[in-house]
Structure 1
Amino acid sequence: MDPLEDVLRLLGATGRVSAGLIAGGEWAVAFDASRDVKFNLVRTGRALLIVAGTTVPLAAGDCFIVTHPVPFVLAGAVEVAPSPASEVFREVRDGFAHAGDGADFVAIGGRFEMAGRSREVLLDGLPPVIHVPAGTPEAAAVGWAVGEIDAELRAGRAGATLVAEHLALAMLIRVLRLHLPAATGWLRGLADPVVAPALRAIHARPAHPWTVAELAATAAVSRSTLAARFKATVGRGPLEYLTGWRIELAADRLRRGETVAAIAHAVGYGSESALSVAFKRVTGTTPRSYRSFVSGTFR
């Protein structure tokens, strides 16, 4: 089992392509913080991305992803007072909002929606902003997606938006792969030759009563080596990670309405009470309370 694919599937990650932005002259647009993961692909022109106290120059072919709920500004120049995105995007023509005067800058935008406890599982291990500049080796890995999204939206064929959204999700996976070594937590572990085999084993058989010795054998190292390497890379021990992943699986099944007893057996706990104790220790609430909360949230 591929842990990255496993997590993305569990989180129900979906790509949504929103209206693009055409801008020129003196312009700047301020975007509010969002729980969703925002992304933009620069089709033509140059701009500045101002986020988290830093200014990032953007050029044609660049891609950036805002992974944390932080506000950001896209601007032609830093001295221009930004207009709220809610006002700029109030009027959309042919799939694009317009800012300033002219078409010096064109970008395709969108977001990734994730269900459940996505921030704790995936996003906290990433920097607030991921910038993939054009002209770098990394940009080649997402260049195909940028081109295909652009082509689909330009052609306007039947199903173009759906195709573009799937391409956007594929782009997210490519970007995550590129940034695994710089990530923290389990994402960083996917790039570690010792930790990765243990992660794959856990995800392949989460209900198995794993021991550190068994997991160490998957990486052909000693128990002490795996325990130390796992802790240093992921931030917690292998069995603690196993517990956390079981709880995420349990939370997913709770959202789908399964009984606590059935879930306990499916994720590796011998009884409903054992799952309840572990679930509350990790999430701060009981399985039944969690299910009531998410049921009310999504009703």
Structure 2
Amino acid sequence: MRPSSPLARLATDHGDWCVQFPAHGYIKCYAVLSGECWIAVEGGEPVALTVGDCVLLPGGRGFRLGSDLTLPATEVETYWRRKEARNALDTVSPGADVSSGVVPPGAGSNEVTFIGSAFTLPGPQAALLLGTLPPLIHLKSATGQEALRWSLERMEQELREERPGARLMAEHLAQLFLIQALRVYLDRAGPGQVGWLFALSDPALSGIIGALHADPAHLWTVQGLAKRAGVSRSTFAARFKAAVGMAPMEYLTKWRMLLATERLNGGEETVASIALSLGYESEAAFSTAFKRVMGVSPRRYGRQLHLMAAPAAAD
């Protein structure tokens, strides 16, 4: 997935507050270090967060976060501007009444401290992950997990102490936190979940998916994959589809096309060279498969990317 541009922020609030976050193109993560608060994604019910709780927001929906979600919500940009101004005044004149209108005075009242982080997933492969996840994942008392607790504690320390390199350290720790949180989610999701991510919990299917990802140009067959998994062809095909949500060859084709779109984004390779590198004997066969999956031909897809990039290049 190559998550990039990780953001990590430590925040403490008290009193009565409610912040509105717009729809976003990130995976957002929050972990409550002390106190309690509430969160609700658009179209969903409010969820109470207490010490040790973590929440992932992979669906891109807008959401509200606060001590009381029935309060009028402040837009997040306004919230942070007022909060930073208030913090600056606190530094100049500790103890002064510097209420911003976002968090009323009353330090220590309903105080909550949390870490928030956000990641962009620039590759088209992100759809394989985001499509399998609900809009809100609540990991209650997730900090009971040793690895997750360690990354949170280290991230908090880096953000608090602000030593040289602290921002970079926090960004890498945030990536560890994301992976560990997804692992906890997989462990707690239970059987019956469908999607690429959940199939990774099956050792046999995980190995198959890893092989497809590692060598997409190989001349894979269902029979060959079944032999690799150590089961019959029919058993493997049924097991793969039940776990992943699509047939093995359908999944392979989709994976190849996602890789192709990423390489077309680069604009440095010809359609013919991409086709050959992904296991297609001809550009025509590749173009047919690409159009079936993506809805347009690879050349047209490349032209659309060029047109979208032209204004930015002109600027």
TM-score grouping bracket, smaller chain normalisation: 0.7 to 0.9
| Equivalent position to 1:284, from 295, 299, 306 | 295
* 2:130 counterpart letter in structure 1: L
Which string of whole-angstrom CA distances, capped at 9 and with x for unpartnered residues, describes residues 76-112 of structure 1?
A: 1243222221210224539989841335112222211
| Equivalent position to 1:222, from 190, 211, 232 | 232
Provide TM-score, normalisation by structure 2: 0.84
Give the Å deviation of 1:125: 0.3
Structure 1 residues 161-180: aligned runs within 5 Å: 161-180=167-186
| Equivalent position to 2:70, from 66, 73, 79 | 79
- Determine the C-alpha separation between the residues in 2 that align with 1:241 and 1:76: 43
| Mapped pair 1:266 → 2:277 | yes
1:208 counterpart residue number: 218
- Alignment gaps of 5+ in structure 2: 89-99
| Equivalent position to 1:70, from 61, 65, 68 | 61
Give the Å deviation of 1:194: 3.7
- CA contact 1:20–1:96 (8 Å) conserved in 2: no
Provide TM-score, normalisation by structure 1: 0.88
- CA contact 2:194–2:242 (8 Å) conserved in 1: no
Moved more, 266-275 or 215-224: 266-275
| Equivalent position to 1:36, from 26, 42, 49 | 26
- Determine the C-alpha separation between the residues in 2 that align with 1:268 and 1:66: 36
Which string of whole-angstrom CA distances, capped at 9 and with x for unpartnered residues, describes residues 189-212 of structure 1?
A: 111244223212212221011111
Which string of whole-angstrom CA distances, capped at 9 and with x for unpartnered residues, describes residues 218-271 of structure 1?
A: 110000000001111111111111111111111111112222111111111111
1:5 counterpart residue number: none
- Alignment gaps of 5+ in structure 1: 1-7
Supply the RMSD in Å over aligned alpha carbons: 2.4
Q: Which has the larger radius of gyration?
A: 2
- CA contact 1:27–1:80 (8 Å) conserved in 2: yes
* 2:32 counterpart letter in structure 1: V
Percent identity at matched positions?
40
Moved more, 235-244 or 13-22: 13-22
- Determine the C-alpha separation between the residues in 1 that align with 2:117 and 2:85: 16
- Determine the C-alpha separation between the residues in 2 that align with 1:26 and 1:170: 32
- Determine the C-alpha separation between the residues in 1 that align with 2:296 and 2:127: 15
Structure 1 residues 98-137: aligned runs within 5 Å: 99-101=102-104, 102=107, 104-134=111-141, 137=144
